Amino acid sequence: MTHSAKSCMERPRKKGAKWTNFHIAPDEKIEMFELDYDGKRDRWNGFDAATYARVIERYEARDEARRKYLKEQQLKKLEEKNNKQNVEEEVSDDDEDNDALKVDEAKVDESKQMDFAKVEKRVRTTGGGSTGTVRNLRIREDTAKYLLNLDVNSAYYDPKTRSMREDPLPDADPNEKFYGGDNQYRVSGQALEFKKLNIHAWEAFEKGQDIHMQAAPSQAELLYKNFKVIKDKLKSRMKDAIMEKYGNSATEEVLPKELLLGQSEKQVEYDRAGRVVKGMETSLPKSKYEEDVYINNHTSVWGSWWKDHQWGYKCCKQTIRNSYCTGAAGIEAAEEAADLMKANVARKAASEEMPTPTEGKRLATWGTDIPDDLVLDQKKLDDALKKVILWLKFPSYLS
């Protein structure tokens, strides 16, 4: 009566109890509860505390079996020692056996507790997998990395990934600390080499090579090894070519014994900024600018020559700073150019002072009377007359 035939949990029959009146099952008991907000979310709602008695009984039965086993072991040892020792020795040995059994029991418990970090996982194999044992490698006596420095402003710890990139104790002695942050492992050892391998694969793929680090890692690693060998050969070849062309002056000079030994009796103290505090007299620079720097083949510095309110080079007497040095030939050419410029200026001044030949004649302009002494060019006059006649006959020809 409380549910339909579709939701019934009983085994379906050929003929129902409604028609046969046999095996009529009682209706289930439905209890209605009106719970508050916390009651609906209580994980122990509906739990019967009396069921915990079963747990207590199970543990008591285990303890009873353990006590029974220990008693049997004690009786066996007593029977073996009755033939060798007297009653007093047996009593003393009995106490020792009890202590030994307790120690053995403690050892057994410790051995069972040692496997608390034991994790059963599936190990991938070609045959489909087999159950293997994977242990947690962290030693429980070690301090967790998030407890090394409890300062809030220290290195950030991500609890989800259990990562701490920065060093939690940057001021500590590096010889004493065993953990220096996750970045220490990322930039050292095989991690750095693997990063270079990935970068090489990306760059090679962008340049057109068919290479993929995840699809064919062996191919990518082989290409990277060949790339390093070829790069080293090119470097050595370039170095040999430069040495052959320009030579190596560093190897020709003999180094002093002080540099070869690398030792000195002078004690120099520096501050944190790298400045000398004690032990070496430093020469103060005369100026904050560079001194005695010769550029563009000049043999003198800029500003060593002055003329006509301009600075220049004394070696070639040029006033352009980025110019190349021309030496004595440049000085002679500059003097000749200056002399030629003076001659041109003098000639122009003299020509301006002399009167022009047309200065006394009257010029004819449009709309004025024609002077009597006007001289016309006959050829130009004939051409002008021809154009006027053509324009009068064919106006559109000249337009």
Return the pLDDT at 199: 94
Return the pLDDT at 132: 52
Q: Within this chain, do residues 110 and 56 fall inside the same structural domain, yes or no?
A: yes
204 is a domain residue: yes
Pair type for strands 276-278 and 269-270? antiparallel
Token pair, residue 13, equals 């029959």
Backbone angles phi, psi at 52, to 5 degrees: -70, -15
Of 375, 341, 333, 346, the closest CA to residue 358 belongs to 375
74 is a domain residue: yes
Question: 84: domain range?
Answer: 50-114
Kindly give the confidence (pLDDT) of every residue in the chain, 399 residues in length, as a single tens digit, with 9 standing for 90 and above. Answer: 788 888 888 888 888 888 898 888 887 777 777 888 998 888 888 888 888 899 999 999 999 999 999 999 999 888 888 877 765 555 555 565 555 545 444 444 444 444 444 555 555 555 544 455 555 556 667 788 889 899 888 999 998 888 999 999 988 888 888 888 888 888 888 888 999 999 999 999 999 989 999 999 999 999 999 999 999 999 999 999 998 888 877 666 677 776 676 666 777 888 888 887 877 665 666 677 777 788 888 888 888 888 888 888 888 888 888 888 888 888 888 888 888 888 888 888 888 776 555 444 455 556 566 767 777 788 888 888 888 888 777 766 555
Task: Provide the 8-state DSSP code for 27.
Answer: P
145 is a domain residue: no
Token pair, residue 321, equals 């700073």
105 is a domain residue: yes
Q: What is the count of structural domains for the chain?
A: 3
Cα 337 to Cα 368: distance, rounded to the nearest angstrom: 48
Can you give the C-alpha Rg of the chain in angstroms? 55
> Model-level pTM?
0.29
103 is a domain residue: yes
The helix (H) or strand (E) run that includes residue 228 is helix 217-246
Return the pLDDT at 338: 84
- Quick check: helix, strand or coil at residue 271? coil
273 is a domain residue: no
143 is a domain residue: no
Cα 72 to Cα 182: distance, rounded to the nearest angstrom: 56
